[in-house]
């Protein structure tokens, strides 16, 4: 992903910063839209993964909609020019102000997670003299085979309506004059690397649809299977783009789509995860009694995933491109005064010294968007591959892996 010319450019930029490979983003979107288009599937990009303006503009230009989990994300989508009829609004705790704004924008659907929420939306619909489209987010009781903080489809999770409440909810929704029930919504978790949970989800959706039609005579127009497709954090260069084709082929094989139904997805990490790297400088190599600490100028304020739930990212010393032997072991940590400010332990790297640049890979998703200014640290800037020029003024081409 990095060549010598790119490394020389990095030396001129204040660290830490996020580097976005715009060419890879385009390739990912090309693959995604081609694979989804095969079955006329509708994609709503999950803005919470990365809300960088350049990134959103490119995603919008590919015709994707937006999956939002806050009122400000809905506002961001609208301001970026994403058509409101492609915007869905999910989340267990929508405030009245957020609901009012989304109703005013005439968004495609509120993905609702409780009858209490639907009743509030109905009341605001009555005041606005609008019938508001909603989809029921159901909790399908499926283990996504992922980290416990990333699963959302089990009974102990806060998300979704339990299946046991479904009949009661449908009856109540049918009694509300300013609610239009247009579909079902599911989301079982994030960073899912196996397709078995999706197959199980499809089978459960098929069963739920049969039950709803038998008991209530309802054939809903929209089925939203959420997102969650994972990426390869261990070896990003081996799999820079997820296998979207196999993913959608699997859904098509197992999901029973009724006549006239449209199928929706809310992908985020799989779209933008691999295009990003957090570039940081080594401040010190600190010798401990039994360990060596590589202290970076990037910390948990710049990338919180490792501190938040032990996420692991590939770490590369890009100042040593020719060093094939990685026989030095480092605990890679940041400068923030918290023990949890650590990126990984016992990382095998070439011998590293103060001033070397390292790349923390696969940070295009849940990196920049989760930056904080704890301890009043500066926010890292973003650098885009297509804005970097060679000495002759030509765009820099990234074609030499280090």
The 3-state secondary structure of 225-286, one letter per residue? CCCCECCCCCCCCCCCCCCHHHHHHHHHHHCCCCCCCEEEECCCHHHHHHHEEEEEEEEEEE
By C-alpha distance, which of 365, 379, 305, 382 is closest to 50?
365
Give the residue-averaged pLDDT of 154-159.
60
Report the distance separating Cα 338 and Cα 377, nearest Å: 14
pLDDT band at 2 (very low <50, low <70, confident <90, very high): confident
Question: What was the pLDDT predicted at 152?
Answer: 44
Q: 3-state DSSP call for residue 212? A: helix
DSSP character at residue 131: P
Tens digit of pLDDT for each residue in 335-378? 999 999 999 999 999 999 999 999 999 999 999 999 999 999 99
Q: What percent of the chain has pLDDT over 90?
A: 87
Residues 17 and 358: beta-carbon distance below 8 Å: no
Longest dimension (CA), the chain: 70
pLDDT band at 5 (very low <50, low <70, confident <90, very high): confident
The two three-digit tokens of residue 65, written as one number:
């909609």
Question: What was the pLDDT predicted at 3?
Answer: 84
pTM higher than 0.85: yes
Report the distance separating Cα 122 and Cα 138, nearest Å: 19
Q: With b meaning 16 or more CB within 10 Å and e meaning fewer, what string describes 379-393?
A: ebebbbbeebeeeee
**At residue 158, does pLDDT exceed 50?**
yes
Q: Name the CA dihedral angle for 278, 377, 14, 335, rounded to a multiple of 10 degrees.
A: -70
Tens digit of pLDDT for each residue in 288-326? 999 999 999 999 999 999 999 999 999 999 998 777 778
All structural domains of the chain? 4-16+274-387 (2.40.37.10), 22-267 (3.20.20.10)
- Compute the half-sphere exposure of residue 376: CA atoms within 13 Å on the CB side of its CA: 0
- DSSP secondary structure string for all residues of 296-314: ES--TTT--HHHHH-----
Report the distance separating Cα 117 and Cα 128, nearest Å: 17
pLDDT band at 52 (very low <50, low <70, confident <90, very high): very high
Give the residue-averaged pLDDT of 164-172.
94
Tens digit of pLDDT for each residue in 191-232? 999 999 999 999 999 999 999 999 999 999 999 999 999 999
As a whole number, the mean pLDDT across the chain is 93
Residues 22 and 58: beta-carbon distance below 8 Å: yes
The two three-digit tokens of residue 22, written as one number:
């715009």
Query: Which uninterrupted H or E stretch holds 207?
Result: helix 196-216
pLDDT band at 147 (very low <50, low <70, confident <90, very high): very low
Q: Tell the residue number behind the tokens 């030509």, with chain if given.
A: 394
By C-alpha distance, which of 215, 219, 241 is closest to 230?
241
Give the residue-averaged pLDDT of 7-31.
97
Burial of 325 (0-12, 13-18, 19+ CB in 10 A): exposed
Question: What was the pLDDT predicted at 311?
Answer: 95
pLDDT band at 401 (very low <50, low <70, confident <90, very high): very low
Question: What was the pLDDT predicted at 297?
Answer: 98
pLDDT band at 235 (very low <50, low <70, confident <90, very high): very high
Tens digit of pLDDT for each residue in 113-135? 999 999 999 999 999 999 999 99
pLDDT band at 144 (very low <50, low <70, confident <90, very high): low
Report the distance separating Cα 187 and Cα 5, nearest Å: 42
| Phi/psi of residue 265, nearest 5 degrees | -135, 155
Give strand pairing partners of 293. 286, 331
Give the residue-averaged pLDDT of 179-190.
96
Tens digit of pLDDT for each residue in 244-276? 999 999 999 999 999 999 999 999 999 999 999
Report the distance separating Cα 277 and Cα 359, nearest Å: 6
Q: 3-state DSSP call for residue 99? A: helix
**At residue 283, does pLDDT exceed 70?**
yes
**At residue 397, does pLDDT exceed 80?**
no
Question: What was the pLDDT predicted at 140?
Answer: 87
Q: Tell the residue number behind the tokens 């890009």, with chain if given.
A: 318
Report the distance separating Cα 109 and Cα 231, nearest Å: 28
Tens digit of pLDDT for each residue in 318-335? 998 777 778 899 999 999
């Amino acid at each position: 992903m990095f060549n010598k010319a790119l490394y020389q450019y990095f030396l001129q930029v204040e660290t830490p910063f996020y580097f976005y490979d715009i060419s890879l983003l385009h390739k990912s979107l090309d693959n995604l839209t081609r694979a989804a288009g095969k079955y006329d599937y509708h994609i709503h990009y999950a803005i919470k993964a990365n809300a960088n303006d350049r990134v959103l503009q490119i995603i919008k230009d590919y015709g994707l909609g937006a999956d939002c989990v806050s009122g400000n994300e809905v506002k961001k989508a609208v301001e970026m020019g994403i058509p409101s009829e492609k915007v869905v609004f999910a989340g267990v705790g929508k405030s009245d102000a957020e609901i009012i704004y989304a109703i005013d924008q005439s968004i495609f659907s509120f993905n609702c997670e409780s009858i209490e929420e639907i009743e509030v939306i109905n009341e605001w619909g009555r005041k606005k003299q609008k019938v508001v489209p909603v989809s029921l987010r159901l909790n399908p009781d499926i283990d996504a085979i992922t980290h416990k903080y990333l699963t959302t489809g089990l009974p102990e999770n806060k998300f979704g309506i339990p299946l046991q409440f479904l009949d009661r909810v449908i009856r109540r929704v049918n009694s509300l004059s300013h609610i239009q029930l247009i579909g079902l919504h599911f989301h079982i978790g994030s960073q899912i690397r196996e397709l078995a949970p999706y197959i199980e989800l499809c089978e459960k959706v098929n069963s739920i649809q049969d039950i709803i039609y038998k008991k209530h005579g309802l054939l809903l127009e929209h089925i939203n299977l959420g997102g969650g497709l994972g990426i390869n954090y261990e070896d990003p260069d081996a799999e820079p783009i997820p296998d979207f084709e196999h993913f959608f082929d699997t859904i098509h094989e197992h999901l029973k789509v009724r006549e006239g139904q449209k199928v929706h997805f809310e992908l985020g990490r799989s779209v933008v995860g691999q295009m990003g790297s957090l570039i940081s400088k080594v401040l010190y190599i600190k010798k401990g009694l039994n360990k060596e600490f590589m202290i970076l100028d990037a910390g948990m304020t710049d990338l919180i995933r490792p501190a938040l739930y032990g996420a692991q990212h590939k770490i590369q010393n890009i100042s040593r491109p020719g060093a094939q032997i990685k026989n030095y072991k480092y605990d890679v940590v940041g400068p923030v005064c918290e023990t949890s400010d650590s990126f990984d332990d016992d990382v095998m790297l070439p011998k590293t010294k103060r001033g070397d640049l390292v790349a923390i890979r696969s940070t295009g998703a849940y990196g920049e968007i989760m930056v904080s200014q704890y301890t009043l640290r500066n926010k890292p800037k973003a650098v885009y591959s297509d804005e970097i020029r060679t000495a002759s003024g030509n765009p820099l081409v990234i074609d030499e892996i280090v």
